[in-house]
Chain A
């Protein structure tokens, strides 16, 4: 990290700051959702915004996700820049029709006349002991919808930078917030916060020569931990944080895999029909002659998200990642 830490901040605080700065910079930015006003959101990400900017700028809506996103579409049609909060990953599903049938395609349908600059913030993923319907990784659905950007931060600085860039984007962005990282602290300088632009650039979080772990969001810290642990096995792992699933940064990912010759994709989402399949295919298509082994996937199982007392068996952890790294046909090297 190049910035000097004034004081450690949490990802939730960085997101709040991003919203506040965006609202201060542009009166068209409106925050809306369930409990985002008086309460400040169930994760407190919108804390203080209603007080500072008024309830017309940070609005507690009726409890209806299709209505929230549907009215945000109308507001965007009139020139506003709505930032919608879906309270939890699985609570966003009622808004699917608005997202797929309107948000993602209004620009295209109208030949560019009616872009919809809407940011849809969705806390996602598991690992917080949430009961049923509070821990889904729904990114594959959004990735499969043309017209949406799908962005997810893994660090405090990126949480700020990517959210600012998402709100500034003239295209709709599904902004997935790894909820188990909300309270993660990081050396971030809130005096000099910077947007991460453009959306669509992956970043190498850790350089290594043996193999590449391709990951994003909540799985980034797990991969960093796995990379540290792998040193004991003699592996020097590179970790690529995608930051953006759409657009996908083929260039950064492939440059890394060409260097290392081996890759494992790591995410919480299930593997069948999940993001890993697409990523593995893209890497294979582009880096085939550099690969020493098939691209492997370490993912959540293809089961409905487990109850909290069983979730540790589901989530990709350090051991499962290292097992996969061990299966990258090292014996063929000698």
Chain B
């Protein structure tokens, strides 16, 4: 028998049957970002909700402007603005129930405030008198998170723990387009899907990771498509359409609450301002591009819908503007006061009890402060 004949006679054992673990089709995002405003779907939107969103968006825009102004006055060390992204910021906060949790990134101060956190406490990190200025348990808002995407596994773990305890809690975690390149994004989505944790991931694709455009960030068809690889649904939404973002996030939160597991939502939006006040956006993008997005402004889109349908008149616009001004004036006044600082706080919360080594350093600083105080002239401050 020749070798070829032998080969012909050989019948390998077939491998164990393989089949896909689920039909991927229902997980795929739509071809176009979901829109409500200016479409037939708008008629079904709750007028009260639209008016609420409008008021919050106007206030949010003013908050961004006021915070940016405070950086110029030296009252804030830095401010990453969400001008142009207010629809995402506001909707993320409004779709949650009281017992739910929000996991913001460093850019999401506005969502934190919309969730109910005191506006000054929300800015503590950026003012620089402490890191997190609010008690996370008061409004169930995790600390503003600077290391990209690292807050996402926290959201998964918290939601998982709540589910293990039988509590009705959903976690909504926010991240930017740049953050989706981080390993923690991948690990968080994978854990969430494996554990079927009640989590919603909101990616605000605002076009840039500081200066790097999305094309250099990913080769995926869309960021929402990444969901399919983890076995969760991906949704694509117009991030400047507040009604659409609210609806898509509400659906995802409900899905999670009902035990359906996590969802990845990609909101297409645009960072109209520079990365922060310290950034020069003209180095990486042209005015024409910014103008295109200004024409697709979240507040204008909603205002047009409301006025066209007779749900908002000039007085209503003016009332929203006035509310925002009142908020800004109060914020300005409070931020113009110097925060109380206690240098001894450096040691207070490193451990439940300071180590002997920290106690020694605590004593050193106390002695330095006393020496400083003694050196100051009577009644005056020495700087």
Residue positions of A touching B, CB distance < 8 A: 30, 56, 61-62, 64, 66-67, 69-80, 94, 97-98, 101-102, 105-115, 146-147, 149, 169-171, 200, 246-251
Contact A112 B356 (CB under 8 A): no
Partner of B184, one of A61, A70, A78, A246: A70
Contact B161 A75 (CB under 8 A): yes
Please, which residue of chain B has its CB at the minimum distance from the CB of A115? B352
Q: Does B180 contact A (CB under 8 A)?
A: no
Interchain CA distance A63-B324 in the complex, whole Å: 48
Interchain CA distance A106-B165 in the complex, whole Å: 23
Q: A70-B187, A77-B158, A98-B150 are in contact. Are A107 and B143 (CB under 8 A)?
A: no
Contact A109 B187 (CB under 8 A): no
Binds A, one of B41-49, B127-135, B234-242, B274-282: B127-135
Contact B153 A66 (CB under 8 A): yes
Chain B residues with Cβ below 8 Å from A114 are 136-137, 143
Partner of A107, one of B135, B162, B351: B351
Contact A71 B162 (CB under 8 A): no
Q: A110-B132, A113-B137, A200-B356 are in contact. Are A70 and B350 (CB under 8 A)?
A: no
How many B residues have CB within 8 A of the partner chain?
Answer: 40
Interchain CA distance A309-B79 in the complex, whole Å: 56
Query: What would be 21 A-B contacts, judged by CB atoms less than 8 Å apart?
Result: A62-B187, A70-B154, A70-B188, A71-B188, A74-B157, A74-B161, A75-B161, A77-B161, A80-B164, A94-B183, A97-B150, A106-B143, A108-B350, A110-B136, A110-B349, A114-B143, A147-B351, A149-B351, A200-B356, A247-B355, A248-B356
| Chain B interface SS verdict (over half) | helix
Contact A67 B131 (CB under 8 A): no
Contact A111 B349 (CB under 8 A): yes
Q: How far is the CB of B184 from chain A (nearest CB, A)?
A: 6
Contact B164 A56 (CB under 8 A): yes
Q: Does B159 contact A (CB under 8 A)?
A: yes
What is the count of residue pairs linking A and B with beta-carbon distances less than 8 angstroms?
Answer: 136
Interface string of B145-174 (1 = CB under 8 A from A): 001001011111111111011000001000
Chain B residues with Cβ below 8 Å from A79 are 161
Interchain CA distance A71-B155 in the complex, whole Å: 7
Contact B191 A71 (CB under 8 A): yes
Q: How far is the CB of A287 from chain B (nearest CB, A)?
A: 15
Contact B153 A98 (CB under 8 A): yes
Q: A56-B164, A73-B154 are in contact. Are A146 and B350 (CB under 8 A)?
A: yes
Can you list the 9 inter-chain pairs with the closest CB atoms, starting with the nearest?
Answer: A74-B157, A70-B153, A67-B187, A71-B157, A247-B355, A74-B158, A78-B161, A74-B154, A109-B131
Chain B residues with Cβ below 8 Å from A62 are 187, 190-191, 194
Interchain CA distance A170-B191 in the complex, whole Å: 25
Interface string of B344-366 (1 = CB under 8 A from A): 01001111100111000000000
